[in-house]
Amino acid sequence: MSESLLEEEYQDLVETVREFAREVVAPVSYQHDVEHSFPSEVVAQMGELGLFGLPFPEEYGGMGGDYFALALALEELGRVDQSVAITLEAGVSLGAMPVYRFGTEAQKEEWLPRLTSGANLAAFGLTEPEAGSDAGGTRTTAQLEDGAWVINGAKEFITNSGTDITALITVTAVTGELPPKEASGAPRKEISTILVPADTPGFTAEPAYNKVGWNASDTHPLSFKNARVPEENLLGERGRGYANFLSILDEGRIAIAGLSTGAAQGCVDECVKYAKERRSFGKPLSEYQGVSFKIARMQARAHQARLAYHHAARLMLAGQPFKTEAALAKLIAGEAAMDNARDATQVFGGYGFINESLVARHYRDSKILEIGEGTTEVQLMLIGRSLGL
């Protein structure tokens, strides 16, 4: 689907976010990357634009839009700054969306207006030292004692978990045992999700990681030492935490695919501009067929990625099954971003190895797009299963 075929409200959103990305985000992107600083002023302005509320109803402070609108916004932000884009993506799809999908009315009224406005951020604490792709290996525990959940354990690689405006962490934890699926099998872990306010005693966001990329994105390991929250902070049905999270991931893969498409397209945009300006052996790089062919292949990847996430989003909005298509979109777009970043760095030559160059930042940033929210191998596994393999 071409951008020109978007409905008017989507097209207006794309143009608004594209202008914001160019005029507000891009000028400070390099500074925040070098300083490893969270772009608080940019996040605040995204909140004012309503971006954190895009897919939520107006009754909770949202914009009344949908997940496709979020993915389109992420594509535009991803063109110029993946750290800013992932802050929005994680704040919405991993932070606020679980509360909206599975929360009680009281939980929604308490948290969603703060999250949809961008005044506060929420994070989702799933990954652990021994539970990443195998989230069923969760070891963090939550036990009921005198009307409160007492949480002990550790999480890692958690986005938006330690900023000045982080207000909530949704934590997956083992809350008991389930009967074995087979008579001779072992008991299974009962995994539930629990809302933990960021100021809860016993909860600590440990020092931030020194990452390869996404340097302006906030990412921490977390620890829970007898962190107590009320029993009513259970999010959704007890024992359904893992299943609920998997459904959140299916939606999130569409959003990540939008972000990845933006990164892939951003590399194309930079290369087209550079190839026309840079001269070698007396003529612009754009006149060399080897360079123009490389950029043409980059554009083909970005176009394919865009079609893939548009298709998955349309299926989701139509109420049709979209799990496989979301996995396809995430796989295609993540690889497109990484492949385009590599080729863009080659087109730029030595300048592509200087962090001040946007393509250099895309080269460092894009690798995580093949890992986070489901690795490439997990996507291949899901696609294979859909084929009956």
The CATH number given to 243-386 is: 1.20.140.10
Does domain 3-120 sit in CATH 3.40.50.2300? no
Question: Per the structure block, which two tokens stand in for 239?
Answer: 């024992």
9 is catalytic: no
What tens digit of pLDDT does each residue of 74-111 get? 999 999 999 999 999 999 999 999 999 999 999 999 99
pTM (2 d.p.):
0.94
- Residue 241: the pLDDT is 87
Surface-to-core class of residue 151, CB atoms within 10 Å of its CB (0-12 exposed, 13-18 middle, 19+ buried): buried
C-alpha radius of gyration, the chain, whole number: 21
What CATH number does domain 122-238 carry, 2.40.110.10, 3.50.50.60, 3.40.309.10, 3.40.50.300? 2.40.110.10
What tens digit of pLDDT does each residue of 329-338 get? 999 999 999 9
Contact 231, 286 (CB under 8 A): no
What tens digit of pLDDT does each residue of 11-35 get? 999 999 999 999 999 999 999 999 9
DSSP 176-245: EEE--SSTTSPPEEEEEEEEEETT-TTEEEPPPP--SS-TTS-EEEEEEEEEEEEGGGEESSTT-HHHHH
Nearest to 285 by CA among 378, 213, 352, 339: 352
What tens digit of pLDDT does each residue of 309-344 get? 999 999 999 999 999 999 999 999 999 999 999 999
Nearest to 70 by CA among 19, 2, 116, 112: 116
Given 110, 145, 373, 377, the catalytic residue: 373
What tens digit of pLDDT does each residue of 168-227 get? 999 999 999 887 777 667 778 899 999 999 999 999 999 999 999 999 999 999 999 999
C-alpha 113: how far from chain center: 20
Domain ranges within the chain, ordered by starting residue: 3-120, 122-238, 243-386
Angle, alpha carbons 311-316-318 (nearest 5°): 95
Of 115 and 286, more confident:
115
- Residue 224: the pLDDT is 98
Could you give the dihedral angle defined by the CA atoms of residues 122, 250, 264 and 217, in that order, rounded to the nearest 10 degrees? 20
The pLDDT-based confidence of 129 (bands split at 50, 70, 90) is: confident
